[in-house]
Amino acid sequence: AYTEKDASHLMEQVFQAVGYLHEKGIAHRDLKPENLMSIGSGADEVVKLADFVRRISYVLRIYSLFPLR
């Protein structure tokens, strides 16, 4: 069974990943359950963000026009 503790662990990883992207000046812009990839289970579960390759190329194009400060 998927517990509240499991969900908390998952969300902590999502927030860390989003924080990392924001530190690099990248916005995912399409966060939804379909864009989360889960590997493993329980305490060994690792969550990865997906579907932002197009976003990164878009952000890089915008960045070249308007550098982030």
Residues catalogued as catalytic: 30
Q: How far apart are the first and last CA of the chain?
A: 45
For the chain, the DSSP string reads: ---HHHHHHHHHHHHHHHHHHHHTT------SGGGEEEES-GGG-EEEE-S-HHHHHHHHHHHHHS---
